[in-house]
Structure 1
C-alpha cells in the first residue's frame, strides 16, 4: 500500500543567482528552492529608506492606536511602515492588533501588497508558524492574502522542516484563490499535498480555543435568521475535502500521469464520484501509456472502500468503479513506477527552469514597491501640509473677523442691537383653558342661620 518514504535532503549545493546586479552565493541544504529564492538582500534593502530608519516603534504604535480609538481609522501606508519596520518578537501582538483594526476601518481597501509580504516574512523569520497560519486562514479579520511568491516561499520553508501539514494548508489557500498559473507555486503545492498524504498531521488550529461544552443551552438574540447555505468552497472545513479539492483542481492542470493520478485521488477524497467517473472515462478514451500510477489507484480504492455500506447506491457505485479500474489495468494504462520519484523529478524540473526568472521578477517587484511607497508618502505629506495651511488660514480669518468687530463696534452698534433683539426667543403663553367669569358680589346677601343638629 502506501510506502513510507524517508525524505533525504540533497547534498550541499552552491547556487548562484543574479538579483538586481548582485550575486547570491548560497551554501545550504536544499530540496527544491535555493536560498536565492528568498530575495533576502533585495527585501532588506527597504530598511535603507529614511522613512523606516527614523521610525520609533513604540511612539508610532501609540499614535496609530490613538487614531483608531479617536477617529476610527488610520492610514494604510502608516500600517505598512510599521509592518516593515518591526524586527523584534515583542511587537508581534501589536502588529496583529493593528492589522485587525485596519481591517475593520474603511481604509482597509488601501492596504498595500507590501504589507502582506512584510507580515508573512516577519512571522516566518520568528518561526511563529501557528500565529502566521492563523492570520492567513482568518482573512475576514486580518485581510492578509499571500500571493504566488509568498505561497511558494512558505511551502518551501515548511517542506524543509518536514512540516507537511503546514505546507498543505498553504496549498489549500492557493486552491481557494483558484489560481494555479504560477508554475513553481503549483508544483510545490503538489509536493506538499503528496507528502501530507504520506505523513498526515493534526489540521486543527492551536490558537482556536473553544470553551468546553457544559451541556447548557445558550440562546442568542439575533435580528433575523439566515437560510442555511453551503458554498462547497470557502465553507469547507474537513481537511480531507480541502486537500482532495486541492489535488483535483491541481491535477487538472498537469496533462501527465502524475496529474491524472492525483486528479483521480482528489475527486475521491473530495467525494465527487461523478467527476471521478468522468476522469476515468477520459483516461480510457485517451489510452495514453502510462496514464496513472498504481499507488494512486490504490489510494483511490481505499477512499472508495470508506463509503458507508448503508447507502443503497454504494455497492452499485463501487461496482462501476471497480469495472473501470480493471479496464484500466487490462489496457496497460496503470504503471508500477514510483509515484514519489515522479513527483520529485517533476518539481525539480520546473524549479530548475523557472527559479532564476522568478527571483529576478520578485526583485523587480520589490524595487517598484519602494518607488510606490515613496510616492504615497509624498502624497500623504503634501495632503497633511495642505490641511495644515487650510487650518491656519481659517484661524486667521476668524481672528480678522473678531478684530473687525472690535474696531467697528460703535459704528455697528445699532446693527448689533437689532441682532441681539432678533436672537431673543419669545415663548408662547401657556393656555390654561377658558377663563371663568368672576363672581358678582351681592351686598344684600344674608347667610342662612346654622342650627346645631340633635343626635
Structure 2
C-alpha cells in the first residue's frame, strides 16, 4: 500500500511528506508507552561535566580500589560511585561487578549511594546486557543493587519494546519483593509485563548462570551447622508461576476496577492461595459493579484450578465452591466479554500520559540533588584525607625530633640509658636438676689390670 502511495506519479515533495509521516507513525508504534524524554538522558549526562569524572583514569582507579580491598578490607563508597559513573564501554563490566561484590562484603556497604545503583543499571542498560543486569538485580545479597521505581519503569518499558516479556516480568517481580506499588507508571508497566508474560511465556532461568548438569558424581560439602528448614513465602519463592501470581495478586488489589479484580483473582489462583481467591470472588459478587471481571481472566483462573487435584482431601469441596461462585458471577452478569489485552493496554497508556511529565520533572530534580550530595561527600572526603595527611606529617616530625634529641643529649642521659638497658635485661632462674650425687671414693691402691693383645 505504501509503495503505491509513494510511487513515481507523485511529485518529490509529496513523497517526502508522506515518507516523514510514515516515519512518525513508526516511531509512535515503537514508543508504545514511555517516550524518549522519560530517560532524562540530558540530565543524566550532565554529571559527566564534573571535573572529577572527566579526569578519572579507570585502570588506575580500579587498581587503587582493588589494592584497598586486599590490604585494608574496605574502600570508600564514593570512589565506587565515581567508577560506576565513569565507565562507558563494555570492557569494564567484570571489573564493575567485582568492585560491587567486594563493597557489599565490606563494612562500607551501608554507605552506597543511590546514584551508584542508577549508574550500574543505566550502564548495563545502555550496553543491552539485560541478562547480566537481571542477574545482578536478582542477586541482592552479593551485589546490593536495588532499583527504584524510576529504574524499574525504564527497564520494563525497554524490555517490552524488545519483546522480552520474561525479563520485564522479572523486573515487575522485583517491585513485588519491595511491596511498593505507589508509583503508578511502574505498577501499571508491571501489570502489562506480567500480562504479556502469560501470553508469551519464556524460559525463566538465568542463562548466564545456569547450574551444571548432574553427572552422577556425589559431591560432599563441609558446613559448620545445618539450618532448620524455613520458607518465608516471599523472598524464598523460586517458581515463576508463584512469583508472577503473587505479583499480579498484590498489584491487582491496588487497581479498583475490572482489570484489577481480574488479575487479583488470576494471581491468587497462580499463587495457589485458594482461600484468598474465594474471598476475592465473594467481594466481586457482593459489589455487583459491572463489568466486574473479564471472561478471559475467569478462563485463566479455571486453568489454575487443575492444581487442586494434588492438594489433599478437601480439593473436591474447593472445586464445588469455586464452581458455585463462578456460576453465580455468570448469572449476575458480572463477566465481561470485552478484550482484556485492549483494556490493559489502554489502561497503561492512560496512566503514562497523565503521569509521565510529572515523573520526568521529579527525576531531573533527583539527579540535581544527587550531584549536590556527591560534591559535598567528595569535599568531606578530601578534607578527611587532608587531615590524615597532616596528622601523619606531624607524627613523622615528632619522631624525627625525638631521634635528634637522643643524639644531642646522649652524654647527659648516659646514666639513664644504662639504667634502662639494665632494666631491659632478662634474668632467668637457674634450672634445678635435683640433688647432686656424692662423688665416688677413690682407691689410691687400685692397680688397673694389664691389657694384652689377643691373637685370633
Both proteins in one fold, TM over 0.5: yes
Residues 323-338 of structure 1: pairs in structure 2 closer than 5 A:
323-338=324-339
Counterpart check, 1:228 vs 2:226: no
Aligned residue number for residue 275 of structure 1:
276
Q: Cα deviation per residue 1:124-150 (whole Å; 9 max; x = unaligned)? A: 000001100010010111100000000
More strand by share: 1
What is the deviation of 1:11? 8.1
Shifted more, 186-195 versus 434-443: the winner is 434-443
2:200 and 2:29 map into 1 onto residues whose CA distance is 25
Residues 34-433 of structure 1: pairs in structure 2 closer than 5 A:
34-308=35-309, 311-433=312-434
What is the deviation of 1:390? 0.4
Q: Cα deviation per residue 1:158-213 (whole Å; 9 max; x = unaligned)? A: 01111111000000000001110111100100010011111111101011132221
Distance change in 2, residues 1:320/1:123 (3 Å): same
Distance change in 2, residues 1:431/1:258 (3 Å): same
Q: Cα deviation per residue 1:290-345 (whole Å; 9 max; x = unaligned)? A: 11111100000011124336843222211110110000110111111111111111
Distance change in 2, residues 1:60/1:397 (3 Å): same
SS in 2 for 1:233: coil
Distance change in 2, residues 1:193/1:12 (3 Å): farther
What is the deviation of 1:289? 1.4
Larger relative CO (CA 8 A, sep 6+): 1 or 2?
1
SS in 2 for 1:29: helix
2:292 and 2:389 map into 1 onto residues whose CA distance is 70
SS in 2 for 1:94: helix
Distance change in 2, residues 1:217/1:80 (3 Å): same
Q: Kindly report the root-mean-square deviation, in angstroms, between the aligned alpha carbons of the 2 structures.
A: 2.0
What is the deviation of 1:427? 1.5
1:414 and 1:372 map into 2 onto residues whose CA distance is 60
Distance change in 2, residues 1:337/1:367 (3 Å): same
Distance change in 2, residues 1:11/1:119 (3 Å): farther
Contact 1:76 1:108 survives alignment (8 Å) = yes
2:70 and 2:448 map into 1 onto residues whose CA distance is 81
1:28 and 1:365 map into 2 onto residues whose CA distance is 30
Contact 1:260 1:292 survives alignment (8 Å) = yes
1:145 and 1:444 map into 2 onto residues whose CA distance is 104
Aligned residue number for residue 437 of structure 1:
438
2:315 and 2:127 map into 1 onto residues whose CA distance is 49
Contact 1:265 1:300 survives alignment (8 Å) = yes
1:421 and 1:117 map into 2 onto residues whose CA distance is 66
More helix by share: 2
SS in 2 for 1:307: helix
Aligned residue number for residue 11 of structure 2:
none
TM-score w.r.t. structure 2 length? Answer: 0.91
2:435 and 2:184 map into 1 onto residues whose CA distance is 93
Contact 1:165 1:201 survives alignment (8 Å) = yes
1:194 and 1:44 map into 2 onto residues whose CA distance is 34
What is the deviation of 1:217? 2.2
Shifted more, 357-366 versus 329-338: the winner is 329-338
SS in 2 for 1:203: coil
| Number of residue pairs aligned between Structure 1 and Structure 2 | 429
TM-score w.r.t. structure 1 length? Answer: 0.91
For structure 2, the 5+ residue unaligned runs are 1-20, 450-456
What is the deviation of 1:87? 0.4
